[in-house]
Structure 1
Amino acid sequence: MIIKEFLPKMKNIIVTIQFLFLFSLIFFTNSVKGQFNIPNKPKKIYPVNDYVGILSETQINQLNKKLIQYHKKTSTEIIISIIQDLRGEDPNYLASKWGNKWGIGKTYKNNGIIVLLSINDKKISIQNGYGIEPYVTDFSTKRIIQKITPLLKNNLYYKAIDLSIKEVFKIMKNEYENKKVKNNFHKKNWIFYFSFILLLLFFFYQKQGIEPSLFNPLFLSNMFFWNKNFDNQEENDFDEFGEGGGNFGGGGSSGGW
């Protein structure tokens, strides 16, 4: 009699345990699938981070150069992250999380932008730091993605990324202008005027029949290359991105191709 009364309760307990086990299994599976491990912050962060290898070294260098120059001019940091797949993550969430982890954008300015491409998922997300939100709106990022979608469909990844960068440049113009650039501009002017005066003196002495040893061809060639070397020094003086900005969640959008 006691056994007959206990059997139905036992069945209910077994069914409940089975249900909880199945629920836990589904939850665990989805959790594992939805975990994308964002790479640790590199010692020196460059703008382009291609973890798939879809860009050539030349293309990476060209994009890096363009983004570094823009960074020097405006202090705005734009990161391109290319991954194989999202592993179930939402692209907007992952991009924002990436920007926060690496601290993209300047401290107190939060002027960072991250462009995330997932090749297998055929998805792209453009996310902004809070300092960028007033300029690059959700509508703007959506329009950029729509504009580059035909290129992505044809696997023209470099052209798509390059076009997206140009569109951001147009929208941002020279917001967050870097004060250091003005100082560099004055230095370049000083070098130009000094070189011009020396050149005038050279021709003056030649006209007078004087042969100053100072103005030998080697000196003149070095003088004309000063400005070029100054530009190269500027390129080599790249301090890296990710000095403590972050604060992503200031808008953006995603799309597929």
Structure 2
Amino acid sequence: MSYYEYEQKVLSLYVMKNEKKFVMIKKNYIIKTINFLFFLFICTTNLVQGKFNIPEPTPGIKKIYPVQDYAGILSKTHRNTLNKKLFSYSKITSTEIVVCIIQNLHGEDPNLLACKWGDQWKIGKKHKDNGVMILLSIQDKKMSIQNGYGIEPYITDFSSKRIIQKTKPLLRRNLFYKALDFSTNEIFVLLKKKFFNEKEKKKLYLNIHNEKKYKNHYFSLYFLLFPISVLLMTFFLSISKKNKIEIEFYSLFMNTILTDFLLKNQHLQNHNENEDNFDGFDGFGGGGLFGGGGSSDKW
């Protein structure tokens, strides 16, 4: 046997002996590579889907308005009506309720996102922490209600869950404005007489006092003019029963004066009732802290 043949034989024996070991090494390498690629895929997915960047308030406007419709599902009329309602409520009670409507959660938990959102925007008054966040995700069909620390004793997790349950039928029919209007009314009921703006309390007292004074003045004039008109009419009737033209003219004249007086005062009263209360809005975000619990559910 030549040296070359001997070398080939030794090499073949070595390969046969280590063939199984080589196959095992190759198999382990493939498994580890697959595991690494899978792990990399999971991490990439979480980075893409599990990150929702909380936006700034309405673009170009520094004020934080109560309604933030990033999904564009509310009409301008409904948005303004809801804005005015929540602003008026905040003006009296100091409680700030913000509604955020988004298209997608991007894998985020609605409770954590709403809580983080309210905390980042500092919804609610400082030291009162009386802010409420209502979050709607249209594509995920999820709703969340989260509270500031000061709201926690009055709106429990069970209470917020119940509000969402009662709102679901409206959400399923895509009646988003009615759903938000209903849910905010439910919150108003739970927070009734729990918070009050001291400045507005004084203003409200003065308005009520002035309104009573105005009504008393109005009725005093009415009761003063009515007997005088009756006496004058009786006087003319007694003097000239035959002169129907003068009597009709006088009656028409007095009715015109009284009607004009009543309608003028009614107009003033209606103007006061329909006065735009959205003036003087400085925006929400008074320094409130979040973490008072809440709830979420899918509709």
TM-score by length of 2: 0.71
1:102–1:242 CA contact under 8 A, matched in 2: yes
2:154 corresponds to 1:111? no
1:37 aligns with 2:46: no
Paired amino acid for 1:35: K
For the pair 1:168 / 2:211, whether they are aligned, the reply is no
Change (3 A) 1:227 1:109: farther
In structure 1, C-alpha distance between the alignment counterparts of 2:281 and 2:116, rounded to whole Å = 25
Alignment check: 8 A CA contact 1:188 1:227 kept: no
Which deviations, in whole Å up to 9, do the C-alpha atoms of 1:188-243 show, x marking residues without a partner? Answer: 24544665687669x98xx8xxxxxxxxx9xxx79x85995698475301121012
Counterpart residue number, 1:252: 294
8 Å contact kept, 1:71–1:77: yes
Counterpart residue type for residue 250 of structure 1: G
* 2:57–2:68 CA contact under 8 A, matched in 1: no
Contact 1:41-1:101 within 8 A present in 2 as well: no
Contact 1:126 1:252 (8 Å CA) reproduced: yes
- The AA in structure 2 aligned to 1:256 is K
Alignment check: 8 A CA contact 1:133 1:251 kept: yes
- In structure 2, the residue matched to 1:126 is 145
3-state SS of 2:297 partner = strand
Look up the match of 2:173: 154
Stretches of structure 2 that go unaligned for 5 or more consecutive residues are: 1-10, 229-259
Q: Residue 281 of structure 2 is aligned with which of 229, 233, 238?
A: 238
User: Structure 1 197/123 Cα, relative in aligned 2: closer, same or farther at 3 Å?
Assistant: closer
CA distance in structure 2 between the aligned counterparts of 1:254 and 1:134, rounded to whole angstroms: 18
SS in structure 2 of the partner of residue 236 of structure 1: coil
| Contact 1:191-1:226 within 8 A present in 2 as well | no
Query: What is the identity, as a one-letter code, of the residue corresponding to 1:170?
Result: V
CA contact (8 A) 2:134 2:143 kept: yes
**% identical equivalent positions:** 52
| Alignment coverage as a number of residue pairs | 246
| One-letter amino acid of the counterpart of residue 37, structure 1 | N
Number of the residue aligned with 2:117: 98
* Higher-Rg member (1/2): 2
Q: Which sections of structure 1, spanning at least 5 residues, go unmatched?
A: 208-216
Offset of 1:29 from its aligned partner? 1.3
Q: Larger deviation: 152-161 or 23-32?
A: 23-32
- Structure 1 residues 137-165: Cα deviation after superposition (integer angstroms, max 9, x where no partner): 00100110110101111111111111001
| Residue identity matched to 2:104 | D
Partner of 1:63: 82
SS of residue matched to 1:37? coil
Residues 84 and 277 in structure 2, CA contact (< 8 A), matched pair in contact too = no
Report the alpha carbon displacement of residue 30 of structure 1 after superposing the two structures with TM.
1.9
CA RMSD, 1 decimal: 3.4
| Counterpart Cα distance in 1 of 2:197 and 2:133 | 20
CA distance in 2, matches of 1:196, 1:146: 44
Asked if 1:19 is matched to 2:20, the reply is no
Q: 1:134 to 1:234 in 2, by over 3 A?
A: same
Shift of 1:248: 1.6
Secondary structure of 2:136's aligned partner = strand
**Conserved? CA contact 1:192–1:227, under 8 Å:** no
Inter-partner Cα distance in structure 2 for 1:165 and 1:116:
12
Q: Greater shift after overlay, 38-47 or 224-233? A: 224-233
Equivalent position SS for 1:70: helix
Q: 2:105 aligns with which of 51, 66, 86?
A: 86
